Structure 1
Amino acid sequence: VPSGRNLYAFEADKLPTRAAYEAGGKALEQLVARYRDEHDGEPPEKLAFSLWSSEAMRHLGILESQVLHALGVRPVWDAGGRVRSLEIIPAAELGRSRIDVVVQVTSVYRDQFDSFMRQLADVVERLAALDEPGNLIAANSHALARRLQEQGFDAERARRLSQLRLFGNEPGDYGTGVSQLTLDSTRWDNDAELAEQFLSRLQYGYGSASWGERIEGQNLFAEQLRGVQAAIMARSSELNGVLSTDHPFEFLGGLSLAIRHLDGASPSLYISDLRKTEPRTTGATSYLASELRSRYLNPQWIGAMQQEGYAGTLEILNVANNLWGWQAADRSMVRADQWQALHDTFVNDQRELGLDRWFEAHNPTAQAQLIERMAEAIRKGYWDASDETRRELAERWQALTSEHGADKGEALTREFIEQMAGGFGLAHSTAPGAAEPAFSNATAGEAVRGQVMQEALEQLTETPSRLRLLLGITALLVCLLLGALRQAVGSVDVSAR
């Protein structure tokens, strides 16, 4: 067929493919083995998965297949490769206990893969009603149904609600609001607020008989997340990692936040690394550390950003913001030395790449905001930076805001940086000719912190006004003198005729 005429849409009903299902089985074995290694040989009994549309289109259902293998379920394909149903693997054939799952889907996934979601919801409901020894899906559903009945739900509705395992936004709603709230770090003091935001937006359950159901006065998503021991998401592109956008910490980090909020302990976080031919399961902390070191602290990547000018400054700022997002979502994800490496590279310019001059030329506010993000990590107790590092951060921030026109951040962050500066004798501008600190009768004997700009600003605003007034009076006087002179000359001419 001529080029341009052989286009076809992605066939969502072929998810997962046969090859993806086979690869998903290997990936789940890796996940279970890794979890056992980290937890004294104990296997996981309850897992949470974050399903994304863009990822599913690339790996064709490998992560979805991990969900199916965990449950002990296999697809039934027709001759064209379409998944017609999901069948339960008998316990004797499975040879192990089934693992309960909670599935969080993004809004776009809900819109594009609703057929798979309905099939998955249906098979989970059948598993929840299956009477077999060691069936954790059934055991957990029965326990939740009893709790719901104790809260006043009738037996039938409690049974149906207890079988829901797929959760996402309300139909027609997109996003969680967690990313922006996380970055607005002066608006919250306790990460419980972030967890509540996540649970609130994604509490809508999707089942075979109910689509996007929410219980008034009860968060079923929260109830199902209790007891989750590990959470996993997939990465199948060399372009997008866990620091390239805010979505990884929004969803996988959001799961960690919510589970810690509910159970008091964070789950183990894993990345299903599908970038190569064979799937690999990696700890999320290890994946983040590798990405930060190999890409964002790499002088070649930084040099490429420098070639992009203003846009490049924003990419570097995004790295700091996304690192902060992971820090707020799960303390164990980010180490103190990684914050230090960010400071050494982008503030102290340890590699001598001329970054200060570059930021000053293209976007000094980006470097100031990067420093403010690090200051927030210190202020909130995530990073106990050394005195030398604190001094360097405060000194550079002062230079950017007072000498290069960078915007100052939120008041709380600004005050914290100024306090750090005051501790090192940097409370006042060190620029040549800077005025001495001002005193007033109300604060006699007490030095005023920061730059006192009021008098200078009054002079700057009043001088042009006075000059215009003087010029206007001068012009008026000149006009009057010229008029008087003209009249005098005219009267002389008349008398001469």
Structure 2
Amino acid sequence: AAMGRASGKPAQFNKSRGAGGGCGVTLRAEDAERVDPDDFEAYCSELFQYLQTVENRLFSEGLHTLGAPPSRDHLVQYLSAFFGEDLPEAAVNAVADAGSGGVPAVRAKLDAMFRSASATSPFEAPLSAEQRAALDAKLERAVDIRALLQRNTEELDAVLRALAGEYVRPEAGGDLLRDGEGVLPTGRNIHALDPYRMPSAAARARGAEVATQILQAHADANNGALPETVAVNLWGLDAIKTKGESVGIVLELVGARPVTEGTGRVARFELVPLEELGRPRIDVLCNMSGIFRDSFQNVVELLDDLFQRAAAADEPPEMNFVRKHSSAMQAKGLENSGARLFSNPAGDYGSMVNERVGQGSWENGDELGDTWASRNAYSYGRGGERGRARPEVLQSLLGTCDRVVQEVDSVEYGLTDIQEYYANTGALRRAAETAQKASGRSGGVGCSIVEAYGKDTKPKELEEVLRLEYRSKLLNPRWAEAMVAQGSGGAYEVSQRMTAMVGWGATTGFAEDWVWQQSAETYALDPEMASKLRKANPQAYSNVLKRMLEAAGRGMWNADPSIINRLQELYAEIDDQLEGV
């Protein structure tokens, strides 16, 4: 538990870190009398809520085997995640146990279940016709989803047809939890969305809700002050899966809305009058992935048109931060001061930050921020704005940036699972912090993470999400055992997460001893686990040890010398094995 203690005063709980904090002081028995009872009760309540959050957090258990239908337990997990509290646990289990049976078979399973427990079946209680119809509809839907999930076996057939150049049935891609059963069965030639209708009405509404919460949370943490500039990452696959939620966030921050034609296509983004908006227009730095840049040129042009009009709007600078910053850049003689959409050079992809972290070719985090900035200094928009280098405009925007926003579109891959998040979100934040200091501003740069795959759109701070992910996945015995059971591929996934952990420490300074300590205890110092990793994938196991030693060497982990010595011994052993010594 995260606690602090001042000499001569009752021990106080560290409210700045909260129950989710990663470091603190262990409360000893002799300190019990010094703890204020009210503080202890409040902390226990906060801790209980946090443990519930960790317990209920979804994570991907192992890797998917192509063509393999879900097991009975996996069916229960899918259905429970999909229906939540809308379908009782007993009903979910009955659906999973009913084989290919429909609602009557499910009812029979439930009746047998409750008879064996000497209880009364909930279906025998008096239900109105409307209640019974609603219940039957949910059970029918659960049965349909079960049947669709069991058709995963069609994946291999589709692969063989594709390799033979034969027809593969098309289907809309998406996520079961977000988009519903329409994305099933798998094994289809998936397609995305019509880019000319992005954002969809639902994505626009959710994006607006997210943006409003981001602004409110920022104001609450900064004495009511709103951010002047917010950097929003626009990623292609994220936009496809959410149908443009990240674009909806941008529109709400600036204070704009889509104008559609009769066909439903978006014709332009119009500015909402300030009187209706009721707050200043927030300036937005849009950092586009290469896929977004190349796939949604129409959206890029519409956004560029919006920013140029916002920069030229006849509005007070204190109520229009786009105009305020654009005017300041014009005063410095910068061209296209309304440019707000940046990415890599045309035809190029990636920030190269993950390559530097992977190779260990960096000395401090500022270097990685500079690498990100040099790779993303190219402006896109209408006309000839197709990758024009505008590093001065980018640096000016970074200097006014108070917050970074990143959507996570899938439960399967989060911040700690792949290299792209720290290489873009983390490095962008570092670049903004560096530019902010250079411009003489202070206050730091916040980072809001939006987990867009569920119903809850409440943004979380970056550090909070990192702690949640490490606790619910990497350091979760259930996750670890499932991943290692996958053999070479699972060991590789563990290895990649160790590299990503170094990446987050490098770009954001996230360095909490408990994460590295428990990682070492789980994957290196446990003989059984270490043996499985070593046999399954010696190179991955070597990287796990290498990253732990690197973290200690770079000051990310204050490890006990005896642990470092043991890790060095293990690393030398696996190095000899790989070298054939």
The TM-score range, normalised by the shorter chain, is 0.7 to 0.9
Answering whether residue 453 of structure 2 is matched by residue 279 of structure 1, we say: no
Indicate how the Cα distance of structure 1 residues 236 and 213 shifts in structure 2: closer, same or farther if over 3 A, else same.
closer
The answer to whether the Cα contact below 8 Å between 1:23 and 1:278 also exists between their aligned partners in 2 is no
5 Å matches for 1:61-460?
Answer: 61-133=244-316, 134-147=319-332, 149=333, 158=334, 160-185=335-360, 187-215=361-389, 218-264=391-437, 266-331=444-509, 333-349=510-526, 354-402=528-576, 405-406=577-578
Q: Please report the TM-score for the alignment, with normalisation by the length of structure 1.
A: 0.74
**CA–CA separation in structure 1 for the residues paired with 2:478 and 2:435:** 43
The answer to whether the Cα contact below 8 Å between 1:359 and 1:367 also exists between their aligned partners in 2 is yes
The answer to whether the Cα contact below 8 Å between 2:492 and 2:540 also exists between their aligned partners in 1 is yes
The answer to whether the Cα contact below 8 Å between 1:205 and 1:220 also exists between their aligned partners in 2 is no
**CA–CA separation in structure 1 for the residues paired with 2:170 and 2:485:** 38
Indicate how the Cα distance of structure 1 residues 280 and 334 shifts in structure 2: closer, same or farther if over 3 A, else same.
farther
Instruction: Report deviation, 1:82.
Output: 1.6
Instruction: Report deviation, 1:114.
Output: 1.0
**CA–CA separation in structure 2 for the residues paired with 1:30 and 1:9:** 28
Instruction: Report deviation, 1:84.
Output: 1.1
How big is each residue's C-alpha offset from its partner over 1:259-296, in whole Å with a ceiling of 9 and x where there is no partner? 12222375111111111124221111111211111122
The answer to whether the Cα contact below 8 Å between 1:199 and 1:219 also exists between their aligned partners in 2 is no
Indicate how the Cα distance of structure 1 residues 21 and 344 shifts in structure 2: closer, same or farther if over 3 A, else same.
same
Instruction: Report deviation, 1:368.
Output: 2.5
Instruction: Report deviation, 1:337.
Output: 1.4
- Give the secondary-structure state (helix, strand or coil) at the position aligned to 1:174: coil
Alignment-mate amino acid for residue 467 of structure 2: A
**CA–CA separation in structure 2 for the residues paired with 1:348 and 1:4:** 49
**CA–CA separation in structure 2 for the residues paired with 1:296 and 1:228:** 32
Query: Number of residue pairs matched?
Result: 390
Indicate how the Cα distance of structure 1 residues 108 and 407 shifts in structure 2: closer, same or farther if over 3 A, else same.
farther
**CA–CA separation in structure 1 for the residues paired with 2:500 and 2:168:** 40
The answer to whether the Cα contact below 8 Å between 1:270 and 1:284 also exists between their aligned partners in 2 is yes
Q: Please report the TM-score for the alignment, with normalisation by the length of structure 2.
A: 0.64
Where does residue 145 of structure 2 map in the other structure?
none
Indicate how the Cα distance of structure 1 residues 210 and 224 shifts in structure 2: closer, same or farther if over 3 A, else same.
farther
Which structure 2 residue ranges, 5 or more long, are not aligned?
A: 1-166, 173-190
Instruction: Report deviation, 1:3.
Output: 9.5
The answer to whether the Cα contact below 8 Å between 1:200 and 1:219 also exists between their aligned partners in 2 is no
Alignment-mate amino acid for residue 321 of structure 1: T
Alignment-mate amino acid for residue 336 of structure 1: D
The answer to whether the Cα contact below 8 Å between 2:354 and 2:419 also exists between their aligned partners in 1 is yes
The answer to whether the Cα contact below 8 Å between 2:192 and 2:241 also exists between their aligned partners in 1 is no
- Give the secondary-structure state (helix, strand or coil) at the position aligned to 1:280: coil
User: CA-atom RMSD, angstroms?
Assistant: 2.2
The answer to whether the Cα contact below 8 Å between 2:229 and 2:397 also exists between their aligned partners in 1 is no
Indicate how the Cα distance of structure 1 residues 163 and 255 shifts in structure 2: closer, same or farther if over 3 A, else same.
same
**CA–CA separation in structure 2 for the residues paired with 1:211 and 1:15:** 21
The answer to whether the Cα contact below 8 Å between 2:344 and 2:387 also exists between their aligned partners in 1 is no
Where does residue 39 of structure 1 map in the other structure?
222
**CA–CA separation in structure 2 for the residues paired with 1:183 and 1:48:** 25
How big is each residue's C-alpha offset from its partner over 1:188-245, in whole Å with a ceiling of 9 and x where there is no partner? 22333222221111111113233234348x5432222111000011012111101121
- Rg bigger for which structure? 1
Alignment-mate amino acid for residue 48 of structure 1: A
**Misfit runs of 4+, over 6 Å:** 5-8
Which structure 1 residue ranges, 5 or more long, are not aligned?
A: 150-157, 409-456, 458-497
How big is each residue's C-alpha offset from its partner over 1:52-73, in whole Å with a ceiling of 9 and x where there is no partner? 0100111111121111111110
